Every structure is written in structure tokens, then in C-alpha cells.
Amino acid sequence: MLNLSYQYKLKCAPDQAAAIDEWLGICRSVYNYALRERKDWVNSRKCLIDRCSIRAEYIISPETKRPTYSSQCKSLTAAKRTNPNLKIPQSQVLQQTLKQLEAAFVNMWERGFGFPRFKKQMGSFVFPQVKPDAVNGNTIDLPKIGKVEFHNSRDIPEGFVCKQIRVIKKASGYYVSVSIGCDVDVPDIMPHGYAIGVDLGLNSFIATSENQFVKGHKFFKESEGQLRLLQRRLKNKIKGSRRWLRVKRQIGLLHEKIHNCRKDFFFKLAHQLCDGVGMIFAEDLNLKALGRSALRKACLDAAWGSFLNILSHVCWKRGVYFAQVNANGTSQICPNCGTNCGKKKLSERVHHCQNCGYTTDRDVAAAQVVKERGLNAVGQTVSTLVEGKDFGAGVYTPARVSL
Ligand SMILES: [Zn+2]
């Protein structure tokens, strides 16, 4: 089974846009209500029964079970009898909203994400099941909303059918992300060809085992001044007024632009890495540990995670084998002889091995360790560290990749 997703911009009629807005509002209130229910339950379990009730009180009976996806779906169905608003969106859409909340909790339990928060606004909702031919020419058939026109920026390939449709509201308009699938067996990509290792770092966005560096773009920082200006303007406007709304929209557009620029950079970089190689290995990022470290930069680790997602997708598309390896101690081990050279300070930019005298940039050394680990994992060994390249002891000239 081959799955892809294509995104299109919608050309909504005013009543369709209003309907989407209304659905998003209802999804939001369902999400927040269900979160409230879960939060109350969690809080009630934190307080001991014999404690003073001034600060906290055990209000939920001990027999009450933890709200789950299925129990909340049942209460949603029951609530529809008394609340006609809940009947407006298609029922599966609201169930998916509850599933989204469940996923947020699973992320917290298993991946160390924070406690889910109440939503000020809902960005999207999803139709989990749609007609296979929901997309037809320039119109897309959304259940209960009807046929909506869209900019057909690329045709759905022959043999693919629609599986799911997500409707997204962005500052620049309404979009649909259509998941399409095709009943073909795609063979897994086998390890082959030349391998490179990639180290994700702070100094340069990535360093490869081939002594290449790619400087990170500080997309957010570049627009920070503009953003601050807009936010100052927003503060001087009356909340909810037309001018306030206009500035608010400008801020949204700017955020969207930053996001798009970053995504574009990631895709181009991923394609560049895939050129001429058969395997790419990267570290398995431990976002949980990173989040706790002193170098915590929320935007930065988010960027690493999404870059690796994009990289794995691009590799798959280009037929390049991609794998992530254990990142423990990649910056301590010498890639040439395998000795553990001890922890380096962040300011120490060069790896110099006391055992064999191997000298190279520290990020490159880490990338070479990643490459070796990857090759070991797929059952190949490296005869020479870097083919056709000679690192004389002490000589270190990084090659820059220009983008
Ligand atoms: Zn060494």
C-alpha cells in the first residue's frame, strides 16, 4: 500500500468558509470539553481523601474510571441528544477530534511531551473516510459541506484513490490535505551504495561525514524584528476592531511565511544530501533529553525533528536507504580508532584523538561515528573512513555547502 498526501488551496464560497469556521469552532469546544473532563479526573486523583478541602477536594468518585477515547465517544453521542450544535459537523469529524486529544495524551505518556493544553483555536479537522473519487477535476466533495472548488496545482496520479481529507485553516486561506493511496506493493529500500552520516548540531545546522557543513537559517530570527513591530501595532489597536483584525492577519501571514521558508529549506537540503549516495544515517534524536538540557531552544529541536521527518520522506522517494542510529556518545568516540576520548566542552570545536592523532571538526567526527554505527547496523563495514579524502593530522579545512 502506497500512501501520499497532496495539499491544495480551496476556493471557498462565503457560505462554505462560514461552515468550515463553524465546524472548527465546534471541534474546538468538543476538544476543550473533553480535555477539561480528563484534567479534572487527573486533578481529583492528585488530592488525598483526608486533606483539607480548602485547597483541593476529592470531588470525583473513586469508582469513576479514567476518561478514555471510547468513553468520551460514548458521552459525545449522548450529548448530541441535548446539544443540537454537535449534530452540525459530520459525526466522524468530532470523533477524530477526540482521537487527536487521545494522541496528545499518548505523546505525553510515551514521548515526554507536555500536558495537553486548551485550544484557543482549532487549526484543522479531518474526514477519516471519504469517497474514493472525492476529488474530481477542480472540485472536491467534502461530506456535509458539499462540492468545493480548489486550485488544482497537481493532478492525482493514475491509480490513486482518496482515503482521508483534512481541512486546514491558515492565515492565507483554507486548504485541504488529501491522503491518497494506491494498491501496489512498494519494496523496502535495501541498504546499498555509498553511505554518509549526518550530525545535527548547534553550530552548523548539519555536518556530514564527508566534511560538509550546512549553516542553519535562523528563519524566525530574521523576521523577529518585523514580528515585533506588528505585535506593537496590535497592542495599540482596540481588540476585535477591524484594524486589530487586519494586524492579527498580518502576523498570521508572517508566521506562515516563516514556516514555509523553513520547510522549503529542509526539502532542498534533503534532496541535496540524497544526491549521489545510497544510504543516509542520522542520529536518533532524543528530544526528551534535549528539552531538559541547558541548550533548550524549543524552535530548534522542533526544527530538527521536522527536518528528519522530511529527510526520511525524501530518501524514500529518491530510493535512498535511511536509518537512525543511537546517538549516545557520538561526540566522544574517535571515528578512526574507536577510543572514547571523553566529553568535549561546547567551545571545543575540533576533535583530536590522543590515541591515533586523528584530527577533524568535532561535528564531522560525530557524523563519521554515526555513519559507522549505521553501517554496522546494516551489516557492512567501512574499510576506509572517508574514501578518497585525506585528513592529515592537524589539517582541517571545512568545505562549505552553499544553499
Ligand atoms: Zn583515534
User: Residues 155-172: pLDDT tens digits?
Assistant: 888 888 999 999 999 999
C-alpha of residue 359 to centroid of ligand 1, in Å:
8
**pLDDT at res. 380:** 66
**Residue 197 pLDDT > 60:** yes
**pLDDT at res. 383:** 40
Lowest mean pLDDT among 18-27, 46-55, 329-338, 378-387: 378-387
> Which residues, 6+ apart, have CB-to-CB distance to 191 below 8 Å?
278, 279, 321, 378, 379, 380
Q: Are 268 and 205 in contact (CB under 8 A)?
A: no
C-alpha of residue 358 to centroid of ligand 1, in Å:
5
The pLDDT-based confidence of 64 (bands split at 50, 70, 90) is confident
Q: Which residue has the higher pLDDT, 57 or 117?
A: 117
pLDDT tens for 77-114 read 999 999 999 999 999 999 999 999 999 999 888 877 78
Mean per-residue pLDDT over the chain, rounded: 83
Q: Is 36 helix (H, G, I), strand (E, B) or coil?
A: helix
**Residue 385 pLDDT > 50:** no
C-alpha of residue 279 to centroid of ligand 1, in Å:
25
Alpha helices in 275-395 (DSSP H): 287-292, 298-318, 362-377
**pLDDT at res. 49:** 62
**Residue 403 pLDDT > 50:** no
C-alpha of residue 210 to centroid of ligand 1, in Å:
17
Q: Are 358 and 349 in contact (CB under 8 A)?
A: no
C-alpha of residue 308 to centroid of ligand 1, in Å:
29
DSSP secondary structure string for all residues of 162-179 = EEEEEEEEETTEEEEEEE
**Residue 196 pLDDT > 60:** yes
**pLDDT at res. 149:** 94
Give me the sheet containing 195-200, strands edge to edge: 321-325, 279-283, 195-200, 206-208, 212-214, 399-400
Gap between the Cα atoms of 239 and 335, Å rounded: 58
pLDDT tens for 121-158 read 999 999 999 998 899 889 999 999 999 999 999 888 88
Q: Which residue has the higher pLDDT, 133 or 24?
A: 24
C-alpha of residue 353 to centroid of ligand 1, in Å:
5
Element (H, E) at 76: helix 69-82
Average pLDDT of the segment spanning 352-361: 85
C-alpha of residue 275 to centroid of ligand 1, in Å:
30
**pLDDT at res. 74:** 93
pTM of model > 0.85:
no
Cell of 9: 488551496
**pLDDT at res. 396:** 32
C-alpha of residue 51 to centroid of ligand 1, in Å:
61
C-alpha of residue 339 to centroid of ligand 1, in Å:
6
Gap between the Cα atoms of 8 and 4, Å rounded: 13
Gap between the Cα atoms of 257 and 271, Å rounded: 21
C-alpha of residue 337 to centroid of ligand 1, in Å:
4
Q: Which residue has the higher pLDDT, 386 or 244?
A: 244
C-alpha of residue 357 to centroid of ligand 1, in Å:
6
User: What percentage of the chain exceeds 90 in pLDDT?
Assistant: 42
Largest Cα separation within the chain, whole Å, is 78
DSSP secondary structure string for all residues of 98-158 = HHHHHHHHHHHHHH-PPPP---SS--EEEESS--TT-EETTEEEETTTEEEEEE--SPPPT
C-alpha of residue 293 to centroid of ligand 1, in Å:
28
Highest-pLDDT range among 10-14, 58-62, 301-305: 10-14
Q: Which residue has the higher pLDDT, 380 or 345?
A: 345
**Residue 393 pLDDT > 50:** no
Backbone Cα Rg of the chain:
26
Q: Which residue has the higher pLDDT, 399 or 5?
A: 5
Q: Which residue has the higher pLDDT, 346 or 34?
A: 34
**pLDDT at res. 351:** 85
Taking each helix axis from N to C terminus, what angle separates 242-274 and 224-235, rounded to the nearest 10 degrees?
A: 160
**Residue 51 pLDDT > 50:** yes
Element (H, E) at 321: strand 321-325
C-alpha of residue 333 to centroid of ligand 1, in Å:
8
**pLDDT at res. 214:** 84
Gap between the Cα atoms of 256 and 7, Å rounded: 15
Average pLDDT of the segment spanning 209-221: 80
**pLDDT at res. 247:** 94
C-alpha of residue 214 to centroid of ligand 1, in Å:
25
Residue 103: φ, ψ to 5°: -65, -40
Indicate the domain borders of the chain.
2-182, 195-377
